[in-house]
Structure 1
Amino acid sequence: MMHSPVVSKAAANWNSYQLADILSHCFEGYLVSFTIDGETFATRFASEDISLNDSVVWLQDGEPKALALITRRGQTCRLAAFAIRPELRGQGYGKRFIQQLIDAARLRGDKNFWLEVIVGNDSGIALYERMGFVRQQTLVGFHGTGSGAYRTTDELVEIDPLLMAKKMLTDSRLRLPWLSAAETLYKLPGKAWVLDEAAYAMVIPHAKQSKLRMLYVAPAARGQGKAKKILTLLQERFPGLSTAASVPEQVAPLYLSCGYRQDPITQYEMLLKL
C-alpha cells in the first residue's frame, strides 16, 4: 500500500485531550512505557510553558505519526516530548523531524535548545549527538523508603509556592533543569513549606504517592544540615515521598543519606547552542 508524504502541522490545531492521546499513541513500544490523560497533559505542560504554535504533529494519510512538544522561555527552547510511531521508526524520520525543529528554533532567534533523554535509549542519544546536542549532566530520581503513619510538625511552615519561586529567582548562581526551575514550580498544583526561613520544599500531595518537586536552601544557610533536616521531616509528613527523574546527580548523596533509594531510570540533560 502506497502512503502519502508525511506532513507537519502546528499542535495548536488540537486540544489537550487530543494531544494526550496522540502522544500516548506515538510512544507505543518505547524503552519506557508512557501514557498521559488530557487533564494531566494540560496541567503538566502548561507549567513547563508549552508553545503549541511551535510544537508539531506529523501526519501521514491524515493519521498522527509523530509529535514534538516544544516549551519556551525567552530565547531558550526545550524538547519536552518527542515520539514517533513504530511504523515510521528506523527510516530517518527522527533526524528529519529534529532538523525541522532546530531550523524553526534558529528562525525564531532562540539561542539554546535543551532536551532530556532516558539513559539506555541508545538510538535516541546517538541521534541527538549527531544533531549537535551535548550532554550537560545526569538527572536522577528518588523514592522515600518511609512507610510510617502521617505525622505533622510545627517546624514546617506552609507558604505560597510563588514565594518559594521568587526566593529561588533571586539566586543568580542557580541553574536548574527545566522541570525543577522556579518558573515551573509555582504553576504546579502543589504546596510549599519553609524550615527556619532558610530551607524550602515544594510537594504535590497525592493519596497514593506524593511528589517532591524541588528542594532549595538559601545560600547563606547551606552547610548547616538544613537540607537533610527538611528531607527527613518531609518523609515523616509524606511517607513514600518520591521525586521525578530531574534531580542533578551530584545531589544524590544527600537523598541517599536520608534513606531515599535511587530510581533505576535516569536521564541525560542535553544542550544544543544555536
Structure 2
Amino acid sequence: MKGCMDCRIPGCLALRDNRPPCPVVKLKTAASTWATQQRHERNPLRASLSAWEGRVSASCSPIVDSQGLYSDFHSSLREIGRTPTWHLSQRMWRVILLLGNAVLVGAQSGVAIEFCSAVDFGLEGTADVLARGFSDYFVKVPFTVEKLLGAARSDSVDFSASRIAVADGTAVGAALIARRGWTSRLAGMAIVPEARRQGVGRALVHRVLEDAKNRGDRTMVLEVVEQNEPAVALYEGCGFKKQRRLVGFSTQSESGFATAGLAEVDLRAAGEAMTLCGVADLPWQLSGETVAHLTPPNAAFRLDGAWVATSSLSASEVSIHAVAGVPGAEYVKSASGILYALGAKFPGKRWTMKAVWPEELGEVFSAVGFTRTPLSQWQMIVSLSWTSAGSAPAFAIVDVAAAASRHGQR
C-alpha cells in the first residue's frame, strides 16, 4: 500500500481520506514543541508527560499507532535530559491505545475505530451486530432485544458499560459487559466476519479493560470456547489468565420413582443458599446471584442441603442452570444425589449442563450417568489493579512488550 506523502506510513488516514495535514506529522510537531517549552521548567518530567498526553489528545484524532511514535516519544524525553524507562514507555503506550474515543489499530490496516455505548447505539442495533458476529460460531447463539434484556436481568449486563466498535460509520464489533461489585465480566464479544484480523478485537478488549479500571473495578472475567483458538490467543495477549477448564454434560432420564424429600423452592432462596455453600470462583452463570435473578418458568429444588436450578420442566429438554452440594466432604455426593432425584421425579426428559461446569467437579454429573459433551471452555481472569505504585496495569504489560519489540525500542 502506498504511504502518505508526509509520514510515509502505509494506510495513513491522511492518504485515505485526503485530509491534510497528516496526523502523524501533527503529533511529531506537537511533541517537538512541548519538549522545547518544557526543557527549562522546574519539574520537566512531570510537566512534559502531562503536556504530551494533552497535546496528543488535542492534535491527533484519531490517534495513530505509527512506527515512529516510540522514537518520537523517547527523543522528546532525551531533549529534557531524561532517559526512557520501562514505566514511561508503559504510560506512553496506554495513552496511545486508550486515550479518547478513537484509535487507529495498526498502520498497515488503516482501520479507524470509534466506540460508543450500547445504550447510545440502541439495543436493536447491538443485537444485530452480535448476531452477525456470531453467525459462524461453534454453537448457534440467537441474539434479539428480548435476549439482551434477559441477560441484563439474570447476568447483570450493563448496556451503558457495553461497547460497540464502529469503523467508517459501520458497526463492526460489540462487547457486552456485566458488572457485580468490583468485578466485570466480558459476557460476550463478537467481530463481524469482514472486519476480523484487522486489530478490531484487540482494540475492543483494550477499551473495555480501560473502562473497567477507570470505574474502579479490580478484576474482569470471561469464558471462551477452548476450541476457538484465535479468541483464546487474543485474550491471553491482553493479559487474561486461564483459571480452569469448563465442561458440559447431558443425559436422558428413564422412568423412575419420586425421591422423598425433594422439594421445590423459590429461586431467590436457592440463589442465596448457593452463594453461601457454593464453590469459590465459580463461573458467573453458576453463581448464586445469577440463580437469584431467575424467574418462573425456571425452577429450583432442595434435597438434604443440596440445591439445583433448572429451566422450565414442561419442556422435553431441560437445562440445569446450577447445582450446589453440602459444603465439605459430602459436596459431590449430595450434589449428585439431587440430580438423581430430579431425574427420577421427572422421567423421560433430556437433561443438559452447558459447558460452564468446572472440570474438577465433573464427578457430580458422571456419578449419575451424565456423559461429557464435546465443547469445552476456558474460564479466564485478569487483574485490573496496579502491580506497584506508579506502574502500569497488568493487562497493559503484554502489549507494551509487543509494541517495544515491533519498534525496536525495548
TM-score, normalising length: structure 1? 0.90
C-alpha distance in structure 2 between counterparts of 1:253 and 1:193, whole Å: 20
Consecutive unaligned residues in structure 1, runs of 5 or more: none
How does 1:57-76 map onto structure 2 within 5 Å? Answer: 57-76=164-183
Q: Which residue of 2 aligns with 1:234?
A: 342
Q: Which amino acid aligns with 2:193?
A: P
- The answer as to whether partners of 1:76 and 1:110 remain within 8 angstroms in 2 is yes
Equivalent residue, structure 2, for 1:266: 376
Within the candidate set 128, 147, 152, 1:40 is matched to: 147
Letter in 2 for 1:232: Y
Distance across 2 between alignment mates of 1:51 and 1:257: 38
Distance 1:221 1:35 in 2: 40
Unaligned runs of 5+ in 2: 1-15, 18-109, 385-410
The CA distance in 1 between the partners of 2:233 and 2:206, in whole Å, is 14
Q: Does 1:245 align with 2:351?
A: no
Name the CA shift for 1:217/1:126 in 2 (closer, same or farther; >3 Å): same
What do residues 176-200 of structure 1 show as CA deviations (whole Å, max 9, x unaligned)?
111100111111232111113x111
Instruction: Give the equivalent residue in structure 2 for 1:81.
Output: 188
| CA distance, structure 1, for counterparts of residue 226 and residue 365 of structure 2 | 20
Q: Distance in 1 between matches of 2:246 and 2:300?
A: 22
Structure-2 change in CA distance of 1:65 and 1:269 (3 Å): same
The amino acid of 1:180's aligned partner reads: L
Question: Is 1:184 the equivalent of 2:184?
Answer: no
Q: So what's the TM-score if we normalise by structure 2?
A: 0.62
Superposed CA deviations along residues 37-91 of structure 1, whole A, max 9, x for unmatched, are: 3323321342111111110011234332100000011111010000001111111
**Partner Cα separation in structure 2 for residue 230 and residue 269 of structure 1:** 26
Query: SS in structure 2 opposite 1:6?
Result: strand
Q: Deviations over 1:208-257 (max 9, x none)?
A: 41111111123268258322221112223162111121110011122112
Matched with 1:157 is 263
For these two proteins, the number of residue pairs brought into alignment is 272
2:279 corresponds to 1:169: no
Asked if structure 1 preserves the Cα contact closer than 8 Å seen for 2:113 and 2:200, the reply is: no
Alpha carbons of structure 1 residues 223 and 44: separation in structure 2 relative to 1, 3 Å: closer
Give the Å deviation of 1:154: 4.4
- Residue identity over aligned pairs, in percent, reads 29
- 1:77-116 deviations in Å (ceiling 9; x for gaps): 0100000011111111111111111111111111101111
- Alignment pair present for 1:30 and 2:140: no
Partner of 2:44: none
- In 1, the alpha carbon distance for the partners of 2:328 and 2:320 equals 23
**SS class of match (1:78):** strand
Q: Which amino acid aligns with 2:241?
A: V
Distance (Å, rounded) in 1 between the aligned partners of 2:328 and 2:367? 22
Code of the residue aligned with 2:177 in structure 1: it is: I
Deviations 1:138-186 (A, max 9, x none): 111111232x358655431011111112222334863311110011111
Q: 2: distance between equivalents of 1:163 and 1:28?
A: 37
Change beyond 3 A, Cα 1:222–1:263: same
SS of residue in 1 equivalent to 2:323: strand
For residue 92 of structure 1, what is the amino acid of its counterpart? G
Distance 1:258 1:114 in 2: 31
Choose which of 108, 129, 140 in structure 1 pairs with 2:215.
Answer: 108
Query: Whose Rg is larger?
Result: 2
Task: Point out the structure with the larger strand share.
Answer: 1
Instruction: Decide whether aligned partners of structure 1 residues 150 and 258 sit closer, same or farther in structure 2, where only a CA change above 3 A counts.
Output: closer
Q: Assess, with a 3 A threshold, how the Cα gap between structure 1 residues 123 and 224 changes in structure 2: closer, same or farther.
A: closer
SS in structure 2 of the partner of residue 225 of structure 1: helix
Name the CA shift for 1:113/1:153 in 2 (closer, same or farther; >3 Å). Answer: same
Q: Which one-letter code corresponds to 1:140 in the other structure?
A: V
Give the counterpart letter for 1:248 in structure 2: P
3-state SS of the aligned residue for 1:50?
coil
* 1:120 CA drift (Å): 1.3
**CA drift at 1:263:** 1.3
Q: Which structure features the higher share of helix residues?
A: 2
Q: Report deviation, 1:31.
A: 3.9
In structure 2, how many angstroms separate the alpha carbons of the residues matched to 1:93 and 1:183? 32
